[in-house]
Chain A
Amino acid sequence: MNYHFDWTPIWAARGLIAEGLTMTTAVSAAALAFSTLVGLVIGGAATADSRAMRGLALAFTETMRNIPLLIHMYIWYMALAFLRLPAFTCAVLGLSFYSGAYVAEVVRAGIGAVGRGQMLAALATGLTRLQAMRLIVYPQALRIIAPSLASLFSQLIKDSSLASVIAVAELTYQAGAIEGQTFRTFEVYITISLIYLVLVTAVSQLVLLIPGSRSEAAAGRFADA
């Protein structure tokens, strides 16, 4: 192996790396918020009494999950180009609908775990279905799925790397840019993957701090997003 290691250009480019890191965090955080929203809505629909609602929810999750994330992003970026959404928004939307389908599954299970009895008790006190969901069921479900959401954040950080393909200047994109300038191919990509590793590990460790998180079980849930 006659590769000469030279890490100084990487250090010199730390500004770009920091920008990329900021963008990665921004994309992931925005996607986390939006996919949680999507997941809550669809997951709620999946436990509705109406068969049509449940059918629609199922169709949504099956479709969104079986389309590759890359295609999701391209759809927003190219097929829906008339909307003139900036690349950042396209990436967030693509990520959110894809991950939202997975969150929906978790939410559905979470609502199921809350138990029908809670809904019945709420209705018995005169609340409407909607009120019961909002005040009684959802809050409990949220507490149950909180650990899974933290794992989802982990997964989103990794998935956000695909945003580089539609020219969002996040971490992977910057890696390519730095490589183009410095030709330190190995150093750049190893550095980037170590940064991802640290990010993802940090988030996973934070999961364990959430009271009542059944760590491995929850963490494993999103490994197949």
Chain B
Amino acid sequence: MPDVILKNLPFLLHGLWMTLNLSVWSIVLGTLLGLVVGLVRFVRLPVLNTLALVYIEFIRGTPLLVVLFITYFALPALFDYHTTAYRAAIFGFVMFIGAYLAEDFRSGLRAIRPTLIQAGLATGLTRWQVLRYIILPQAVRRVVPSLFNQYVRLVKFTSVASVIGVTELTGAGLLVNAREFHPVTILATLAIVYLLLCSVLSLAGRTLYARFAVRT
């Protein structure tokens, strides 16, 4: 392992830990948000459906960096509160990925054949029971590859948190570089670590899908 990395290993490892922390929190909370919003869109609850649509369209048309600037600078200014870069980053990531996951969930739900829903209703299940026992289990399984695509995307996006001052992996690497000035080594190391992280996550997604896929 190159000297400059070895010398700063604890600092860099802390950055890696922060990347994992950001990723896990954003994935978990973002998935919950995406599921709720996706359901709202699928079932078309009045009023909430329109709000969900506005939310999704806004996020999909906005760069991640701008979303982070909004959560770190604009919203605290507007509502006069104080926030840390870490909290603003999580907030921004959750809002961002939630919108994309919501659309993925909605597609998965819409892919269920209407006649299958009728079959469930025909056995006397209520609409909510059909949603819970027949539609959701299938939709969630179908949607696993798209979900993991978004998760991998999120891990890459955590690097942008460095711009608002969160010392995750990229931020840590840049700080070390500012002191030691070994950009090639440091950036190569960062690149390799991200590569490994994303590959492992993709692999996990493919394995999960293979195990739980619904064959029709």
A interface with B by C-beta (< 8 Å): 1-3, 62-63, 65-71, 74-75, 78-79, 81, 158-162, 164-165, 172, 175-176, 179, 185-186, 188-190, 192-193, 196-201, 223-224
Contact = CB atoms under 8 A, between A and B. Distances in A.
Interface string B145-188: 01001101100110110110000001000100100000110011
B79 A1 contact: yes
Nearest 3 interchain pairs by C-beta: A197-B61, A161-B63, A66-B198
Contacts of A63: 195
A164 B100 contact: no
Contacts, number: 123
Given A161-B63, A164-B65, A192-B66, A79 B183 contact: yes
Contact of A70 (B60, B150, B152, B159): B159
Given A3-B78, A190-B74, A70 B187 contact: no
Interface residues of B, number: 46
Contacts of B75: 186
Nearest to A198: B61
A80 to B, nearest CB: 8
B170 A70 contact: yes
A193 B150 contact: no
Nearest to B153: A224
B65 A66 contact: no
A193 B183 CA distance: 32
A70 B177 CA distance: 15
Given A165-B163, A197-B58, A172 B66 contact: yes
Nearest to A158: B63
Given A3-B77, A193-B58, A196-B62, A70 B160 contact: yes
Contacts of A67: 156, 191, 194-195
B62 A68 contact: no
B69 interface: yes
Contacts of B70: 189-190, 193
B73 interface: yes
Contacts of A200: 60-61
B80 interface: yes
B77 A66 contact: no
Contact of A71 (B61, B69, B74, B190): B190
Nearest to A75: B187
B65 A78 contact: no
B8 interface: no
A25 to B, nearest CB: 14
B195 A162 contact: no
Contacts of A186: 74-75, 77-78
A161 B65 contact: yes
Chain A interface SS verdict (over half): helix
A218 to B, nearest CB: 14
Contact of A175 (B69, B78, B153): B69
B129 to A, nearest CB: 30
B203 to A, nearest CB: 12
A62 B199 contact: yes
Given A3-B79, A62-B195, 14 more contacts: A66-B198, A68-B159, A68-B194, A78-B177, A79-B184, A158-B61, A161-B66, A186-B74, A186-B78, A193-B62, A196-B63, A197-B57, A197-B58, A198-B61
- Listed residue (A1, A68, A74, A172) with the most chain B CB atoms within 10 angstroms of its CB: A68
Contacts of B156: 66-69
B62 A197 contact: yes
B195 A189 contact: no
B95 to A, nearest CB: 12
A2 B78 CA distance: 8
B157 A71 contact: no
Contact of A74 (B77, B187, B202): B187
A189 B164 CA distance: 14
A172 B73 contact: no
A218 B59 CA distance: 19
Nearest to B187: A79
B159 to A, nearest CB: 4
